[in-house]
Amino acid sequence: MVPAQTPRLPRHLQARLEAGLRQRGQGYRTRFAPSPTGPLHRGNLRTALVSWLEARLRGGEWLLRIDDLDGPRNRPGAEASILHDLRWLGLDWDGPPLRQSDHRGLYASLLSALRRAGWLYPCRCSRRLLADVSAPHGALAVYPGFCRERPPRWGPEAGRLPSWRLRLGEGVIRWRERCGSTGCQDGPSTVGDVALRRADGLVAYHLATAVDELLMGISDVVRGDDLWSSTGAQVAVMAALGAPPPSYAHVPLWRDAQGERLSKRHGAEGLAGLRDRGEDAAGVIGLLAASLGMVPAGSRLSAGELLADLSSQGLDRWLQQERRIREKA
């Protein structure tokens, strides 16, 4: 059974969430949220450029958030490299960079409130067990709810703590989607009871992301379409906290000649490789913009010059055109 009410939050946390929602209503605010696991590759940079252009065209704010909660995967010097690359390209952000690691205590307080209100339950399913119920080709199936109705034992057993899962209700999860697939996922069949706190004690991606969109007053999330499938879980967390979601635009990823998306995992080239080949910032901005169909191939221009040549209506038309292309595919 899913709780019917939002959790009772400590007064200071409730005030911060309400302040974030008020800030959202005051104008356009978006964010770029890289993880410091290595240098930005061209695909990351292209998404950053689209996000930056939209914020500037709408007279809004472009915030920078470093998603650094997964300490074992963070690489020394990666954050400094990210900041340097954005500055080199002329993608300026508003205010100081924010770091998720600074919010660990806040996430813990929110998790405790959700747990007290009955929104969470402990799960002791091992990775091996969940792998056995995975979908074909390694895609993890929706959690089947093995632990949902078991007695809630929160303490360690056999030296291992449980993960904490969100008790998701029946029905469809909806959000406003401006570019990607329609903003709609069926909760039970495509989202399921996602983990919000891992068994190793780390806060899970869905909780941290959802909470930070609210605290930062984010009105619009512009990110790669590989994250579309994560949106339902994050919207569900916001709903549990009594907050509406922002608007989303899941922009197409940059793919190679074989149709594979560029990624750090596969060693996709970043700015260092482009600079080694003699490219300057104007050449890289031209390369990124040309890949989006905004300028002819071989163009050279600064981020500011590209911004001056565009309009918010033109960028909107591009986003909508990309959506139509993918819906027909």
**Mean pLDDT within 298-324:** 83
Active site residue 328: no
Per the model's pLDDT, the better-predicted residue between 60 and 257 turns out to be 60
Q: Is 113 among the domain residues?
A: yes
Characterize the bridge pairing of strands 98-99 and 61-66. parallel
pLDDT-based confidence at residue 266 (cuts at 50, 70, 90): very low
* Residue 244 to residue 251: CA distance in whole angstroms: 22
Are 29 and 216 in contact by the 8 Å Cβ rule? The answer is yes
Q: Is 196 among the domain residues?
A: yes
Q: Is 4 among the domain residues?
A: no
Domain membership of residue 233 as a residue range: 11-328
Q: Taking the C-alpha atoms of 195, 201, 206 and 208 in order, what is their torsion angle to the nearest 10 degrees?
A: 150
Helix intervals (H) in the chain: 11-24, 42-57, 78-89, 104-116, 127-132, 205-215, 231-240, 271-276, 281-291, 303-309, 312-328
Of 176-180, 239-243, 257-261, the poorest mean pLDDT is in: 257-261
| pLDDT at residue 139 in the model | 47
Catalytic residue among 198, 261, 264, 326: 264
Q: Is 1 among the domain residues?
A: no
Q: Is 36 among the domain residues?
A: yes
Question: Is the pLDDT reported for residue 214 higher than 50?
Answer: yes
CATH number of residue 102's parent domain: 3.40.50.620
Q: What region, left, alpha or beta, does residue 49 occupy, with left being phi > 0 and alpha being psi -120 to 50 degrees?
A: alpha
pLDDT tens, residue by residue, 125-145? 987 777 655 444 344 578 989
Q: Is 6 among the domain residues?
A: no
Are 168 and 187 in contact by the 8 Å Cβ rule? The answer is yes
Mean pLDDT in the chain?
89
Question: Is the pLDDT reported for residue 314 higher than 50?
Answer: yes
| pLDDT at residue 12 in the model | 92
Question: Is the pLDDT reported for residue 4 higher than 70?
Answer: no
| pLDDT at residue 5 in the model | 78
Tokens coding 115: 């747990």
CA 314 to chain centre: 25
| pLDDT at residue 264 in the model | 52
Q: Is 31 among the domain residues?
A: yes
Q: Is 5 among the domain residues?
A: no
Total of domains in the chain: 1
Question: Is the pLDDT reported for residue 306 higher than 60?
Answer: yes
Question: Is the pLDDT reported for residue 323 higher than 90?
Answer: no
Question: Is the pLDDT reported for residue 29 higher than 70?
Answer: yes
Of 78-87, 269-278, 290-299, the poorest mean pLDDT is in: 269-278
The DSSP string of 252-267 is PPPB-TTSPBP-TTTT
pLDDT tens, residue by residue, 8-25? 999 999 999 999 999 999
| pLDDT at residue 255 in the model | 64
Question: Is the pLDDT reported for residue 324 higher than 80?
Answer: no
* Residue 75 to residue 28: CA distance in whole angstroms: 32
**Mean pLDDT within 158-181:** 93
pLDDT-based confidence at residue 150 (cuts at 50, 70, 90): very high
Of 18-22, 62-66, 83-87, 252-256, the poorest mean pLDDT is in: 252-256
* Residue 52 to residue 211: CA distance in whole angstroms: 22
pLDDT tens, residue by residue, 68-126? 998 888 999 999 999 999 999 999 999 999 999 999 999 999 999 999 999 999 999 98
Q: What is the pTM of this model?
A: 0.91
**Mean pLDDT within 260-272:** 60
CA 251 to chain centre: 12
* Residue 61 to residue 218: CA distance in whole angstroms: 9
